[in-house]
Amino acid sequence: MIELYTWGTPNGRKVSVMLEELGLPYRVHKIDIGKGEQFKPEYVAINPNSKIPTIVDPDGPDGEPFALFESGAILIYLAGKTDKLLPAATRGKYVALQWLMFQMGGVGPIFGQVHHFLRAAKIEVPYATERYVKEKDRLYGVLDHRLAEAPYLSGNEYTIADIATYPWVARHEWHRTDLGRFPNVRRWFDAIGARPAVQRGMAVPG
Q: Which parts of this chain interact with ligand GSH (CB under 6 A)?
A: 9-11, 33, 38, 50-53, 70-72
Task: Work out how close the CB of 8 gets to ligand GSH at its nearest, in angstroms, rounded to a whole number.
Answer: 9
Alpha helix stretches (DSSP H) within 83-125: 90-102, 108-115
Strands 2-6, 54-57: parallel, antiparallel or unpaired by DSSP?
antiparallel
Query: In whole angstroms, what is the distance from residue 168 CA to residue 13 CA?
Result: 9
Q: At what angle do helices 126-149 and 108-115 cross, to 10 degrees?
A: 140
- Closest by Cα among 205, 193, 151, 192 to 29: 205
Residue number, 16 or 38, with CB nearest to ligand GSH: 38
Strand ordering across the sheet containing 66-69: 26-30, 2-6, 54-57, 66-69
Q: Least Å distance between CB 148 and ligand GSH?
A: 27
Closer CB to ligand GSH, residue 91 or residue 119?
A: 119
| 51 versus 136: smaller Cβ distance to ligand GSH | 51
Nearer to ligand GSH, 10 or 155 (CB): 10
Nearer to ligand GSH, 70 or 157 (CB): 70
Any bridge partners for residue 101, and if so which? Answer: none
Q: How far is the CB of 12 from ligand GSH (least distance, A)?
A: 6
Report the residue number, 47 or 155, with the smaller CB distance to ligand GSH.
47
Indicate the residue whose CB is closest to ligand GSH.
51
CA-CA distances (angstroms) from residue 95 to 54, 100, 137?
25, 9, 22
Least distance CB 99 / ligand GSH (angstroms):
15
70 and 96 in contact (C-beta within 8 Å)? no
Nearest distance in Å: CB 106, ligand GSH = 12
Shortest distance in whole angstroms from residue 1 CB to ligand GSH: 21
End-to-end alpha-carbon separation of the chain, Å? 19
